[in-house]
Chain A
Amino acid sequence: MKSIYVIIDASSYINLSTVEHRFLNTDTLLDAFGEEVILRYSSTVNQEISSHWDNNMPDSLKRSAKIHQLEKYGQGEYEKRLFDDISQTSRDQGEKDNFAVALDLFFIQKKMNLVFLTDDDKAISGCLNEVKDAFPIIKIWNSFDAVLFLYSLKRKDFFMEAAENALQDLHKLTTSDNEKTDPRKMSERLKKLARYKKYLERIEKLHKRG
């Protein structure tokens, strides 16, 4: 039975749906991930996803079913109480609203296994920096973590090579042009890829016989 709630942001949703994944009767990594966890997001994130909609993504009806309607407070009230800088623009709005979704699931529905999934490192170290530390119940993942999770869970079907390929594709998708041309940023990205490949080896080593 699925017990992990993953509150996913638009960029990660798009990234995971772009990576092909032809195992377990799924077409994309998002499909495979969605088989194992309960995906949720805010209505703002749903709108962001709609504006980047592609054939390989679920249709609007299926997507709408994943929207969480806030119960404890409305979106504006959550933002006022959680964030010092209430934005006049829509910058980081998706991340802020998604964080409210995670808290709502915790406080109202008493869900404990909560994962906030985003590939936006700037939001993590920016607008979410303080609130994420205030609520350690919410784990922060990126798309690479989703690959590790699937590999840990489904090693018999999701082989090492497929997991490495998924990481490579996500690495390409999540690296901006600016990061490719700045040698230091580029090195940081490469080190991240190497680190996650190392994690795969660690998982593999744990399960290896003898």
Chain B
Amino acid sequence: MQDYTKLNLQENPFKDITPLLDQDESHRLIWAGMPSLRQNLEEIHRQALITNSRQIILNWGTFGVGKTYAAFYFSDQVRLKELAEDYEGNIFHVYIRTPKEGRNAPKQIFRDIMDSFSLSSLNSRIQFVINERGEENLLKFLSRRIKSEAFAKAVLLLGDENPEMTEMMSRYLYSNATKTELKKMGLARSLDLSSDFAKMLTGILLCFLEQKGRVFLWIDEMEDLLFFSAKEYRMISQFLRDAFDQMNEGLTVFMNFTLTEPEQDTVRLLLGDALWSRITENVRFNELSASDGLLYCKELLRQSQIQTDSGEYSPFSEVSLRYLFERIPQSYMTPREINKNCNGILNLALESGESFVSERIISEWFSKREGFD
């Protein structure tokens, strides 16, 4: 592991070019720069926890601008509860990526969401709701909401205390239950059509809303949907619409959409009116200006600086950072691109035995990059 102390740093704050979802108390993600974007997203979360209404949010912007990072940053339960201190319910954060293949996309999305919850947490959550509401009442409630008694019954079986039943239900969720098992469970048929998956998903999510629960579902890389055939796209957008429409409360969906295009109308044309009309808010993730970049670097460096009196950008200076930003084309001015460059520049400075980053080192870095870009 590199020793960055000579550069006045405990560690290299730019090393994470792409974020990791795996966070613990010793490694909480920090938000650097882009204050209005953070406030905007915080406000959406706060409103979700206060009002309980359904929100469908479209996050869009170029690649590397922080959409996935935002999904991971706002997965922190402690952070979310700090946003609405009076909130006493449970918060469930689900992060999935859009399937690359269109043929079974609804099934894949359903499975990814189930994987994200884990079977044991599904079981205990539904058991809890059955105990709270009573089996009959819950069955009636779910049947009415998802318009299917068969799938409402299947949701209830997910909360069954019998381990053999839980085992069979896990196979049911993954469409692997045999006819004998279906008969044993008293279920008429397995999950097959995309509308089946939408109903089952909604039924399960409704159980997570019990006692002021709130589900935040992040769907990353939504642009991949647009490389499906027309038939596949129709199927997946119908699945999403069914799932969204049956949940009129307790759900916030963030759809991350990468596009190097500033026109909102382009996104509308691509998504189609059926999905577009359901979006309650859209959040534009903009490329950074030089002053945005300075703020971003300052706040990131602050976390790792050893001596805080060596300048707010140490081991860089404002001049050297501006020199760097001039070399990054405006359409590439994103946190990822800044991380990529600063990460390499810091390592080059170390190799060269420097204790601060000069314009000469930055120049040298770009000459090297030209060689392998």
Whether the Cβ atoms of B223 and A186 lie closer than 8 Å is yes
B255 to chain A, nearest CB (A): 15
Interface residue B270 (Cβ < 8 Å from any Cβ of A)? yes
Give Cα distance in the complex from A172 to B258, angstroms: 17
Give Cα distance in the complex from A165 to B235, angstroms: 12
Which of B229, B233, B265, B270 sits near A190, CB closer than 8 Å? B270
Chain A CB count within 10 A is highest, among B259, B265, B269, B272, for: B269
Whether the Cβ atoms of B261 and A168 lie closer than 8 Å is no
Given contacts A191-B266, A194-B266, A194-B270, contact A183 B227 (CB under 8 A): no
Interface residue B230 (Cβ < 8 Å from any Cβ of A)? yes
Give Cα distance in the complex from A168 to B234, angstroms: 10
Whether the Cβ atoms of B223 and A190 lie closer than 8 Å is yes
Given contacts A168-B229, A169-B229, A171-B226, contact A183 B63 (CB under 8 A): yes
Given contacts A184-B260, A187-B261, A191-B261, contact A164 B270 (CB under 8 A): no
Enumerate chain A residues within 8 angstroms of B74, measured Cβ to Cβ.
none
> Which chain B residue lies CB-closest to A173?
B229
Query: What is the number of residues of chain A that contact chain B, defined by CB distance less than 8 Å?
Result: 20
Whether the Cβ atoms of A198 and B229 lie closer than 8 Å is no
Interface residue B356 (Cβ < 8 Å from any Cβ of A)? no
Give Cα distance in the complex from A119 to B231, angstroms: 22
Interface residue B141 (Cβ < 8 Å from any Cβ of A)? no
Query: What is the number of residues of chain B that contact chain A, defined by CB distance less than 8 Å?
Result: 22
Given contacts A190-B270, A197-B269, contact A172 B261 (CB under 8 A): no
Enumerate chain B residues within 8 angstroms of A168, measured Cβ to Cβ.
226, 228-230, 233
Enumerate chain B residues within 8 angstroms of A203, measured Cβ to Cβ.
none
Which of B230, B231, B259, B269 sits near A187, CB closer than 8 Å? B259
Chain B CB count within 10 A is highest, among A168, A187, A197, for: A168
Whether the Cβ atoms of A198 and B269 lie closer than 8 Å is yes
Whether the Cβ atoms of A193 and B226 lie closer than 8 Å is yes
B285 to chain A, nearest CB (A): 14
Give Cα distance in the complex from A118 to B265, angstroms: 28
Given contacts A168-B233, A187-B261, A191-B261, contact A180 B227 (CB under 8 A): yes
B282 to chain A, nearest CB (A): 16
**Binary flags per residue of B241-280, CB closer than 8 Å to A gives 1, else 0:** 0000000000000000011110001110110100000000
> Which chain A residue lies CB-closest to B263?
A194
Given contacts A183-B63, A190-B259, contact A197 B270 (CB under 8 A): yes
Could you tell me which A residues sit within 8 Å of B by CB distance?
164-166, 168-169, 171-172, 175, 180, 183-184, 186-187, 190-191, 193-194, 197-198, 201
Could you tell me which B residues sit within 8 Å of A by CB distance?
62-63, 223-224, 226-231, 233-234, 258-261, 265-267, 269-270, 272
